[in-house]
Structure 1
Amino acid sequence: MEGYVDFRGYRTWYRIMGDPANAPGRRPLVFLNGGPGVPWPDRHHWFEDLVAAGRPLVLYDQLGCGRSDRPDDPSLWTVELFVAELSALRRTLGLEAVHLFGLSWGGMLALEYALTQPDGLLSMILVGTPADVPLFEREARLLRADLPPYTQRVFDRMEARWRPATGRGSGEVHPGRTLRQRQRGSAVMRRLVPVMTARPVQRLADPMSAVPGLTGLATRIAGVEWARRHVVRLSPLPAELLEAMVGVNRQVFDTMWGPADPLPLGALRDWSVVDRLGEIHVPTLVANGRYDEVTPLQAEALAESLPDSRCVIFEQSAHLPMLEEPAAFQEAVLRFLDEVDPRERTVDVPGPEVEPGARP
């Protein structure tokens, strides 16, 4: 089932997968997309696998991306807007008790939402989630130092260009696209990415970044090199990821985050909830890839600061372990949900063997 929720004069698209009425005791898992401004793909085998395992899901495209309305107004894009949108979604759909799944920015949104102390929030799963953007930037600088010198120079030039006007987006709003257009764009991207990862093209991005009008393209090319190291370590890139990349709203992303993943120069540049994490008391799974742009150091620090949490590091993954290690990731997610909802065992977790008459 899918439809729209009215929110502040705009429409937020949602889809419900699975039937909560036929899953007694299984509370829905609400997915918060990343970016900001990056929509969910139309199909994702991992979503379907979770539904097959008996877990109802609620997906929605945050305002400004995907099938939701895309107002052309950079002043709209604030944390408060997206927290209020999630509250409106729950209220309209009657989602009295939920688990939250936040990917990257979606995890940041989940933390902000949890700090409002909403009723019915059962747990959170935070994937590749920074809790402190200044720390993310410091760690990203260390990762940038391992990039080829010509790629480093592209990011350095873009940073120098943005730093004086920090907090301003590009002003470019990605036009609304139909599903067919996004899928067609995904096919084009699938052909372009191998070209963009070729060393001659990567080298060409260096002088391009010094030419007015080509800086943005050069940064996208350098971003592909960053992505294959610290976002998803798969070749070719999964179709789901390409579809999401095609649908990104640059106005939302640039305004809130910045011109590229390793350059958090937007409105979120000073964002941090580190000092307030002790106020969040819902069970939380912090999941991270070993090669994630949100480094394991950040994931472990986040888990240590939350009163009821555990951290899992996926050794073969970067930012998207649900694509890079899907079986292991699904097992970790289902095991966690079974633990926080003890009535809905989907995985039998045996306890330690105890000899007859012995005390456990």
Structure 2
Amino acid sequence: MNEEQLSVEKLLTEPDYDSEGFVDYIYDGHTYKLWYGRIGSSNAIPALVLHGGPGGNHHNLVAFQALADERPVIFYDQLGCGKSDRPDNSSLWTAERYFDEVKAIRDGLNLKKYHLIGHSWGTTLAVGFAAKNPAGILSISLHSPILSFPYYINHIAPILKQGLSGLNGKAGQVIDDYELRGVGTKNDYDEACLELMKGHVTNTWPLPEAMKKLIAARNPAIHDMMIASDSELNVLGNLKTVNVTSQLSTLNIPVLMTCGSDDVCTPAYTKWQSGFANNAQYYIIQGSAHMTPVDKPLELLGLQRAFLKEVENVSNE
């Protein structure tokens, strides 16, 4: 194993946190515990990392621990996810309620100035939160962003379905038949979803430990409520009407957008979304699918590190 492979393997291993614990989140008269882990103890401006899903957890984003040589990096598991409390209350699984909870992390960890980093659904969360709570946020990094679910459903998912070649070119139709019309076999559906996953979700097989931990610790009840399909090419849950592109337009802070060349959040979709930002940088990471922090962590981290340095250099002028 060469030096680069060794460094990638280490990047995708759960960090030894300098501190971890829980912050209280009070909502609708109830107090919940949200888990966080902080790596890095310097006084530099920290980065808060928001994971995807919905119903996922921080495990597939642990590559961002590499930034801790320059600043504290804070991971947290959203309510119902990972190590945080998992209440059995489906009314909690809405975008607006999640936008609200990030304040508890910000305030509980006393973040006065910080950078936001989101991946996938975490980009929706980052923009939705920041639009209502912009104070102290120096930049937002949106990796494999999905900011308009209606646009994704109507303009991106159909292209992805058409591009699936399996099952004699009918894999996309198999997914629609199974998810929208309740017909077809589970075996064919699973085969079509696996083709999608290997082609557009992660190019890294066999799955690394970070992805295995993500899968093991996810909360399917949240995903079912908010997405309501395994393929995610048909968004049938309560995210189907969520669109935060107008909120992004209100933010006058630097924005970094990246995606993989084979991403379900395609380069064309990501470029379209970047047009709503007032100050955006946009990059495609070649040879990666949706899970850029797993497929191409070194390339992603290089872009992330340079962006944060540039933002702070400008703000100090």
| TM category, shorter | 0.7 to 0.9
TM-superposed deviation, 1:82: 1.2
Contact 1:338 1:344 in 2 (8 A): no
* 21, 29, 34: which one aligns with 2:47: 29
Given the alignment of the two structures, is residue 313 of structure 1 paired with residue 290 of structure 2, yes or no? Answer: no
Assess, with a 3 A threshold, how the Cα gap between structure 1 residues 42 and 321 changes in structure 2: closer, same or farther: closer
- Matched with 1:301 is 272
Counterpart amino acid of residue 223 in structure 1: C
Flag the 1:256–1:207 CA change in 2: closer, same or farther, 3 A. closer
The farther-off stretch of 68-77 and 33-42 is 33-42
The structure 1 residue matched to 2:38, chosen from 16, 20, 29, is: 16
Aligned-residue CA RMSD (Å): 2.2
Rg larger for = 1
The letter for the 2-side match of 1:151 is: A
Note the 1:77-88 alignment, pairs <5 A.
77-88=93-104
1:315-330 mapped onto 2 (5 Å cutoff) = 315-330=286-301
The percentage of aligned residue pairs carrying the same residue is 32
Deviation, structure 1 residue 43:
8.9
Q: Is the 8 A contact 2:51 2:118 kept in 1?
A: yes
Alignment pair present for 1:256 and 2:226: yes
Distance 1:236-1:75 versus aligned 2 partners, 3 A rule: same
Per-residue deviation, residues 70-110 of structure 1 (Å, max 9, x unmatched): 11111111112212210011111111111011000000000
**Shift of residue 153, structure 1, vs aligned partner:** 4.0
Question: Helix, strand or coil: the match of 1:14?
Answer: strand
Amino acid paired to 1:3: G
CA contact (8 A) 2:64 2:301 kept: no
Structure 2: distance between partners of 1:78 and 1:126: 20
When the two structures are aligned, how many residues end up with a matched partner? 289
Q: 1:175-186 residue pairs with structure 2 within 5 A? A: none
1:142 is aligned, of 137, 140, 159, to 159
Counterpart Cα distance in 2 of 1:335 and 1:42:
21
CA contact (8 A) 2:264 2:290 kept: yes
Query: 2:66 corresponds to which residue?
Result: 49
Unaligned runs of 5+ in 1: 163-205, 210-216, 346-360
User: Which of the residues 285, 299, 305 maps onto 1:334?
Assistant: 305
Q: Is the alpha carbon distance of 1:276 and 1:100 closer, same or farther for their aligned partners in structure 2, counting shifts above 3 Å?
A: closer
Contact 2:65 2:73 in 1 (8 A): no
Give deviations 1:245-286, integer Å, cap 9, x for gaps. 122211111111221221211101111123343211111100
Q: Which runs of 4+ in 1 moved over 4 A?
A: 217-221
Residue in structure 2 matching 1:152, options 169, 172, 177 = 172
- Aligned residue number for residue 271 of structure 1: 242
Instruction: Give me the whole-angstrom Cα distance separating, in 1, the residues matched to 2:262 and 2:94.
Output: 29
Distance 1:273 1:93 in 2: 26
CA separation in 1, counterparts of 2:301 and 2:59? 18
Post-superposition offset of 1:15:
0.7
Which residue does the alignment assign to 1:195? none
- Secondary structure of 2:35's aligned partner: strand
Shift of 1:16: 0.9
Other structure's SS at 1:342 match: helix
Matched, 1:222 2:244: no
Helix, strand or coil at the partner of 1:145: helix
Match of 2:83 in 1: 67
Q: 1:55 deviation in Å?
A: 2.2
Q: Partner residue of 1:241? A: 211
State the TM-score, normalizing by the size of structure 2. Answer: 0.85
Report whether the alignment pairs 1:121 with 2:98: no
1:231-250 Cα shifts (integer Å, max 9, x gaps): 11122122211210122211
**What is the aligned partner in structure 2 of residue 354 from structure 1?**
none
Give the aligned partner of residue 130 of structure 1.
146
Whole-angstrom distance in 2 between the partners of 1:122 and 1:43: 21
Show the counterpart of 1:176: none
Which residue in the other structure is 2:254 paired with?
A: 283
- Residue type matched to 1:37 in 2? G
Unaligned runs of 5+ in 2: 1-18
How many angstroms apart in 1 are the aligned matches of 2:246 and 2:34?
A: 32
Report if aligned partners of 2:177, 2:184 keep a CA contact under 8 Å in 1. no
Residue-by-residue CA offset, 1:130-163 (whole Å, 9 max, x unaligned): 121122123111111122245334411333248x
> Could you say if the C-alpha distance between residues 219 and 86 of structure 1 is closer, same or farther in structure 2, counting changes exceeding 3 Å?
farther
Question: What's the secondary structure of 2:139's corresponding residue?
Answer: strand
